[in-house]
Amino acid sequence: MDNNNNNNQIENANQNQNENENEMKNLEKKVTKNLIKDYSNLLNGNSFKDFSIFVENKSNPFEIKVHKSILSSRSPFLMSH
């Protein structure tokens, strides 16, 4: 009975780890997609706002903020506009 219990605990731990890894991969894809979209809008002059992305993560939500002046100082295209 102890072996079955141990095996179930190991299986549950592995399943939880896989779910966490999948959640992080999905989150990474979502953030990357948003970064590409927002930065593309900045480069094409479609946005005059600061660059900000809010990442919704169950365990650790966070927000990335970058002022447009910082982005423009690092992008020749934005500097010329």
10/34: higher pLDDT: 10
What pLDDT score was predicted for residue 49? Answer: 63
Q: Give the integer Cα–Cα distance in Å for 6 and 70.
A: 54
Long-range contacts of 53-60 (CB under 8 A, 24+ apart): 55/27, 55/31, 57/27, 58/23
46/78: higher pLDDT: 46
What domain count does the chain have?
Answer: 1
Owning domain of residue 10: 2-79
Give the torsion sign (CA, 73, 77, 78, 81).
positive
Residue among 36, 39, 27 at smallest CA distance from 66: 39
What pLDDT score was predicted for residue 73? Answer: 61
pLDDT confidence tier of residue 61, bands split at 50, 70 and 90: confident
Residue 31 confidence (pLDDT) above 50? yes
